[in-house]
Structure 1
Amino acid sequence: MDMGADGGADLAACGQGRVVERELCPTLTNGRHVVTVNGRERQFIVKLPETYDARRPHRLIFTFHPMGGSAELTAAIFVSPNGTLGVYDLLGWANTDGDDIDFVDAMVEAVEAALCVNQDLRFSTGFSYGGAMSYAIGCARPEQFRALGIISGAEMSGCEGGAPSRPIATYQQHGVQDDLLLFDNILPMRDALVEANGCTPVTPEPIPVGNTAARVDYEGCLEGYPMTWVAFDGGHIPGYVDEGDDVPLSTKNIWEFFTQFE
């Protein structure tokens, strides 16, 4: 909105659809950005949809990279952050003393000051260490995020309080042949999410049949807090594809899971 033509102020729409004087509107465009968290500069990449409209609230999706990855390697929809150096000098999400959760808070504040975000539709997803970070968000910020997408992740970034204290809608998948984050070791994390969401546990444990993954859409969950679990016959990979399909389960299923929320 530009009111300069009739002598009024030069106005712009920025975060949450606010209309302010243009010079007061924070700038956040496609590309790399930096925030200072606990005295250290942290980097993240923003990618706006081609149809971005500052007058309409949008979903905000965080995609966290695996250990050794970086923001550039994650197919971000909105925000893709960089972790910190850790084991073997690789970037990861150790979340020491909640430092990475503080980073998430800072990114949310920076993004939502400049862009129009539906604050009821924040999401987090990631593979491996990125899935672990998404789980940590579910433990620490369940009221601020609508849903998680955990791809072959474990409890490596911690869980504030030791277990999820409130429900958070979750899609989770893991390979039964995963030799890095063992399948049986993941089940307590999954079961904690099932309990937090008030879902009815499933017995016996569902197992994949050949090249077709086993999927459970849990029943009895608290209204608005669905949970889906997928076990596939594969290892520690993000892009497992069911037989007869050509799209990775994580790509298709997580997008469908997130977009069910309006």
Structure 2
Amino acid sequence: MNQIFSTAAFRHTPATWLGQLISIRQVMGAALLVGALAGCGGGSTSDSSSTPTPTPAQPPSGAASTGCASAAKLLTGLQSITSDGTQRSYWLELPAEYDRNKAYPVVIGLHWRGGSASDVYTWNGFFGLKPLYGNNAIFLAPQGLDAGWANSGDRDIRFLRSMISQVQQGVCTDPQRVFATGFSFGGMMSNAVGCQMGDVVRAIAPLSGSLWSGCGTSSNRVAAIFDHAMDDNVVPYSAGEDARNTFLARNSCSATTVPIGNNGCVEYQGCSADKPVVWCGHATGGHWPPAFSATETKAFFDRF
């Protein structure tokens, strides 16, 4: 189960980190991974020939997407979509007892460098979130190009917009509760999503991320919770702080913090209405999400 993570292809990686590799530690007993394989489920594979033609995602306008009330046009399994003339794919995980009349929140899990969509949905249960949500959310695991999220020319931003639109048309979702999380390169792409996709994504939860997948200008804002270890030797703690500070400025937060949760996280005060920023900095853990990250992430997402 060991996976190798690399920053060699990060588009905005400082030269000192190019080519650096890290082997995942043997932490399979961590709470983050408990119950990971259980309930990941399987299902039919569908492709773009049986799915609606995606249109650009629009700002949330109601509590139910256009895919509600009708029979699902998408099934749990691998989906295909064309973005910028390139065939892209993502895994869709519907609740075992999917209800066409229930507007589900959508949780997007972005894989790390050298990882894949299948790692996200089969290995650790969408970063430990799926066991916590049970049958009350729809999960998406998109596949990056070249096993990563360089987001060259915002190609991955456009892909994720098309993916969200396709899902909203194909199944019943709540357009006002779309969330994104990811680890390492996936954390970087989560930040890029937060920078540019606040019109369709409500909150992000980057794990050990940075701004190395870009941070385009947008007037739209998102709520954000960040997790980073001080002894991370792949993505420096300071790079995580830079990402946090960008969202503090975007959301007009003050420097005052108050403790939140039970794991040393703090919430910044004075942020724009309904756009909180939470920082979960911890001394040790290296380049790996702590066992508590899923619990803190879900508690944050549940606020919206």
Instruction: Quickly name the TM-score band, shorter chain normalised.
Output: 0.7 to 0.9
Partner of 1:237: 288
Partner of 2:292: 249
Stretches (4+) displaced over 2 A = 164-167
Please report the RMSD computed on the Cα atoms of aligned residues, expressed in angstroms: 2.0
Confirm or deny: 8 A CA contact 2:72 2:100 kept in the other structure. Answer: no
Partner of 1:118: 174
- Counterpart of 2:201 (choices 127, 135, 145) is 145
User: Unpaired segments of 5 or more residues in structure 2?
Assistant: 1-64, 131-138
Partner of 1:135: 191
- Counterpart of 1:180 (choices 234, 247, 271) is 234
Report whether the alignment pairs 1:222 with 2:265.
no
Partner of 1:31: 77
Report whether the alignment pairs 1:170 with 2:224.
yes
Confirm or deny: 8 A CA contact 1:35 1:42 kept in the other structure. Answer: yes
Partner of 1:194: 248
Secondary structure at 2:214's aligned position in 1? coil
Query: Counterpart amino acid of 2:141?
Result: S
How far, CA to CA, are the matches of 1:169 and 1:252 in structure 2? 17
Partner of 1:58: 104
How far, CA to CA, are the matches of 2:265 and 2:69 in structure 1? 42
- Deviation string 1:105-148 (CA, Å, 9 cap, x unpaired) is 11112111110111111110000111111111111111211100
How far, CA to CA, are the matches of 1:26 and 1:38 in structure 2? 26
User: Unpaired segments of 5 or more residues in structure 1?
Assistant: 1-13, 20-24, 86-90, 207-211, 241-247
How far, CA to CA, are the matches of 2:246 and 2:207 in structure 1? 16
TM-score (norm 2): 0.69
Residue 18 (structure 1) shift:
4.5
How far, CA to CA, are the matches of 1:64 and 1:259 in structure 2? 19
Query: Counterpart amino acid of 2:211?
Result: E
Residue 185 (structure 1) shift:
2.7
TM-score (norm 1): 0.79
Taking a change above 3 Å as real, the CA distance of residues 138 and 181 of structure 1, as seen in their structure-2 partners, is same
Identical residues among aligned pairs (%): 31
Secondary structure at 1:121's aligned position in 2? strand
Superposed counterparts of 1:60-75, under 5 Å? 60-74=106-120, 75=125
- Deviation string 1:147-203 (CA, Å, 9 cap, x unpaired) is 001100011211113xx6443100101000011111123222211111212221148
Secondary structure at 1:92's aligned position in 2? coil
Report whether the alignment pairs 1:43 with 2:93.
no
